Chains A and B, each alone.
Chain A
Amino acid sequence: MARKSVSMTKLALTGNEAVAEAFRQVNPDVAAVYPITPQTELMHKFSEYVYDGKVETELIAVESEHSAMSAAVGAAAGGVRAITATSANGLALMWEVLYIASGLRLPIVMAVVNRALSGPLNIHCDHSDAMGARDSGWIQIYSENSQEAYDNALQAFRIAEHSGVLLPTMITMDGFIISHTTEVLEILDDAAAREFVGEYKPMYTLLNPEQPVTMGPLDLQDYYFEHKRQQVEGMYNAPAVIEQVAQEYAALTGRKYGFIEAYRMEDAETAVVVMGSAAGTTKDVVDTLRERGIKVGMVKLRVFRPFPHEQLAEALSHLKSVAVLDRCISFGAQGGPVYMETRSAMYGKEIPIYSYIYGLGGRDLIPSLVESAYNDLFEGTPDPKMRYLGLRE
């Protein structure tokens, strides 16, 4: 680990508490909150900070997630830093307004505590909620554990608010698996965190008496297309900003973040691609297999939007085969969303890539399941269709 330049405190926190802690340090101007499991604890904690006077944030306890995102849009349009958090159906209810937040180029930061979508009703982890929003124009950053959730939360503000980006950003963590598990993590002291995030200076605001603005106009055939293209430009600019922010963060904390994390990939012959908490389990499996002399590695995706095609393709290009583990189904598609992106990134390379669906509705991903995916790769004959890990059929 690189040298740290500031002092840090070790705390035992759940993922929800860790992100609430990051939000407390950022001290945003407005927070719109609405309960949904497993995100509730995050905003409970943050509400305590508001009611105990530990932040100056104005809390809007709205009557739905649709209004949470709508109020966040209003607040951000009013030129202030706005946050919210949600899970699953809450994110689905926000769906309409997610596109408006990104279309209006409002740098809202939202914590998404991943949970399965109904129906049937299930409150446990999978990624179908955030994956449903993958085309909404939000930057998406996934976290492996509480430490990453905290670190990603602080970095999210810098990325979203950068003048070349100006896109809302969601940081995610796996519901219950991260959100409700207490882990020891290091947090920055408040002054260092605040200095890192910095002051927010909006480019346009509804509340500039010198310059009234119209936001959210009717945008027809003659301009809408160009405005969507400009949004793409924000996404194009994001990687450089994500990288720069990660470098600054590493200088501060010693913790390095990239678009992907390559684990024991140098001489690996096969690898698994994962996101979120499954990366921890997979690293353990990699270590076990390596002890047996089997050359395997793992690639964890941290940033899903913008998708790091080049970095991923480079990391995988020397392999004999790849398995992609998705905690989400795209019904009727050839595989999960991460699989399809990976296939696309690897276009033109003669490397077989296989899709595995795991962990829907919070089903545990135990090491033997990950190991079975590696075994498939080495045996050389995985089913060409989607396969499932830990499913009774």
Chain B
Amino acid sequence: MQGEPSFPDSLRVQLRVLGALSMREIVTRFGRDQIGFWWLFVEPMILTVGVTVLWSVFHGRTPVPIAAFAVSGYSMVLLWRSTVNSCIWAVASNTALLHHRNVKVLDLFISRILVEVAGSTISFFLLSVVYVFLGLMAPPVDLMNILVGWLALAWFTAGWALCWGAASTYGELVRIAWIPLGYFFFPICGAAFMVDWLPSKLQALALWIPTVHGVEMMRAGIWGSGVRAHYDIWFLLASCVIVTLLGLVLARGAAYRVDSL
């Protein structure tokens, strides 16, 4: 056995693998014809616009402008849902790739997470810009809040998707369980309400849900002091560390299971 490669060399190899896997993911999913990889963010954009229209019609009068409310909330839901959906099929549909020496199970997850996070982020960014230009949304008050909130949400989503993706290699049941859970999650994730609107007992419960903190933080950045936002960024970051650690441990187990197949 030759000497161990240095860490920077390994990192370079891994980055190349991740880049190749991401490109492969985009091309196999969206193809090269028509608008190709643009679908990556056009699809969530269309969904978000649809939700904006629906909520504008059905929510009636809300305490906050509905367009910004829908963009901040639904973009997070899409990020969350598409990343987990993509990760729970990551190993099953790419088993053959694992014959390459440098393609590891974790790489499959990371590449899919990168693709989904990038797609949702571009969609969120473009839609916000378009809405601001159309006058549907006031220019945000504090961009830093939005940025940190979104990045923390993306990190949390990555850890969470890693958990589900890795767990899905343990049995089919996990994939089936995710479907109802994913829908159940939508009303409680913070996308469809603001904590301040809830009675104080529910507020305390809602603040146990990590994503609520991220969405509240983004909305504090969008509207500034016009809304009372309840969030604790440290709680969200601590949750991120916990889910990421759990996901990494599960992924190691998944790697052993897949290798031994």
Do A and B come together as binding partners? Answer: no
Q: Which residues of B line the A interface, CB within 8 A? A: none
A residues near B, CB below 8 A?
A: none
